[in-house]
Amino acid sequence: MKDRNIPLFKSLYLLVFFADALFTPFVALDLVALNMTSLQKGLILGLLPLGSFLGNLVFSFFTGSFKRNKILLEITSIAQALMILGCALFSNFTLLIISFFFSAFFNSAYFQIEDGTSIVAIKKEKRLFNEIRIFGSIGYCLSLLFTAFALKNITYKILFSISASLFLLTALVLIFLKSYPEEIKPKEAKERSPINRTFILYFIFYVFCIGSQNVEAYLFPLYYSYTGIEDSIYSFCSFLRTIVETVIILLYKPIKKLLKTSKMGLLASAILEILSTMSALLIPSTSNLVSISIAFLFRGLASGLIIISLVEAINEIFGDSKTAKNLNLIRGGMYLFTGIGNFLFTYVLKNISYQYDFLILLAFKMIGLIFLVLSMSKRKKV
């Protein structure tokens, strides 16, 4: 009999990514619409990744078995719905800071736990992770397509309210997931510590490379707003990126045969991330849809590869029961980097040109690539 968790996870990925795309990509634009000062925007945008970092760190101590992770997913989806609703309804700055901070706290933790939990179901059916994860990209893509038209007629408050409602629906679907009684095995109790050379090198690579990408994700809408580019164009470019990401995830099986290992997938994604930033350097001087689309195209290619490759690589190293924990640690460090970067670039370094912003981020991505290459080298045994 087929595992009912597989179709349920497909529905969950579709639903939760649709909900997230109604909120996360438009936080910066919502702050602009609220006429906040540079300091206020810098504080909130800086606290968002800090909240994500703390959420990942805190929940890394509680993840473990499939059953426990399922409970954590239910808690985080409900809490996230309430926080996003607060972002939509509150006008007081203090209440908005609290709502945005805790929405990030629960948001990032949810996605890492979901990845670490769904891969258990996938392995039991002897299938590939991309068969489930593809539905997340489809949901995100459909959501961005919806917002490209909806933003002309509705406010961000309405958009955020819809997002909160869908996260509540996610919590309802999670109830029907079936736990695996044989999931905890004696051998997994003696798994090696996460503090090893490969983990540390992966950690530094992901923090610098993907952390820089996340800072760019916050800078892009602010730059577009500054230059007068419409929100609908930003939404279209995000839609294009997600389409490319979706195609990469869909075709991951033949791509993996070509790349051979998950490490090569990470290497390819790092190179594409660097190309994305190099393309972004052209945007301030050209400000046309072609150069913007090229930057987002590379981002889509990179995202599609790293989404699958990282989860597989971590699962290969640490096993089922430790995957969620280590994804939380790696992505938590990345969000801390992003938080610091958001504050520096939107407030402290607000007077330098966007070209210098992107050059600094390009340097960090290259450093991340160096550490990834080091992780692929084999150490000689003494």
The vertex-222 CA angle with 219 and 223, nearest 5°, equals: 80
| pLDDT for 139 beyond 60 | yes
Contact criterion met (CB below 8 Å) for 105 and 54: yes
According to the model, what pLDDT value does residue 288 have?
61
**Could you tell me how many residues make up the chain?**
382
Is the pLDDT score of 75 beyond 90?
A: yes
pLDDT at 374 over 50: yes
In a domain, 382, yes or no: no
Determine the structural domain holding residue 135 and report its residue range.
5-375
Q: Which residue has the higher pLDDT, 103 or 325?
A: 103
The set of long-range contacts for 131-134, using a CB threshold of 8 Å and a minimum separation of 24, is 131/6, 132/6, 132/9, 132/10, 132/13, 133/13, 133/249, 133/307, 133/308, 133/311, 134/13, 134/246, 134/249, 134/250
Query: Which residue type does 85 have?
Result: L
CA distance 21 to 241: 13
Q: Is the per-residue pLDDT at 246 higher than 60?
A: yes
Q: Could you tell me the CA-to-CA distances from 78 to 34, 128, 241 in Å, in that order?
A: 26, 29, 29
Task: Quick: pLDDT tens for 197-227.
Answer: 788 888 899 999 989 988 888 777 776 666 6
Q: Which two tokens stand for residue 89?
A: 């309804």
Q: Any idea which residue has 């892009």 for tokens?
A: 220
**With contact defined as beta carbons under 8 Å apart, do 201 and 354 qualify?**
no
Q: What is the CATH number of the domain that holds 107?
A: 1.20.1250.20
What distance in Å separates the CA atoms of residue 54 and residue 157, rounded to the nearest whole number?
Answer: 26
77 part of a folded domain: yes
The H or E element spanning position 242 is helix 231-250
Which of 333, 355, 237, 212 shows the shortest CA–CA distance to 293? 237
Number of domains comprising the chain: 1
pLDDT band at 42 (very low <50, low <70, confident <90, very high): confident
Report the distance separating Cα 101 and Cα 47, nearest Å. 6
- What is the C-alpha separation between 310 and 263, in angstroms, rounded? 8
- Give the Cα separation of 164 and 175 in Å (integer): 18
> Does the pLDDT of residue 230 top 90, yes or no?
no
CA gap 294, 272 in Å, rounded: 11
pLDDT number for residue 350 = 63
Which of 293-300's residues contact partners 24+ apart within 8 Å by CB, and which partners? 293/237, 293/240, 296/237, 296/238, 296/240, 296/241, 296/244, 297/240, 297/241, 297/244, 298/272, 298/273, 299/213, 299/241, 299/272, 299/273, 300/240, 300/241, 300/242, 300/243, 300/244, 300/245, 300/248
Q: Tokens for 163? A: 């997002």
Q: Is residue 380 part of a domain?
A: no
Dihedral sign of CA atoms 153, 156, 161, 165 in order: positive
pLDDT digits (tens, 9 = 90+) for 155-192: 899 999 999 999 999 999 999 998 876 544 444 444 44
**Is there a domain that residue 146 lies in?**
yes
Residue 113 lies in a domain: yes
Q: Which two tokens stand for residue 4?
A: 């009912």
| Cβ pair 259, 376 in contact under 8 A | no
Position 344 scores a pLDDT of 79
- Asked whether residue 60 carries a pLDDT value surpassing 60, the answer given is yes
> In this predicted structure, what is the pLDDT of residue 106?
95
Measure the CA–CA gap between 214 and 33, rounded to whole angstroms. Answer: 21
Residue 29 lies in a domain: yes
245-255: average pLDDT: 86
pLDDT higher for 125 or 92?
A: 92
Strand ranges in the chain using DSSP code E only, listed in sequence order: none
* pLDDT given at position 82: 97
Does residue 381 lie within any of the structural domains?
Answer: no
Comparing 222 with 330, which gets the higher pLDDT?
330
Are the CB atoms for 21 and 145 separated by under 8 Å? no
Report pTM.
Answer: 0.77
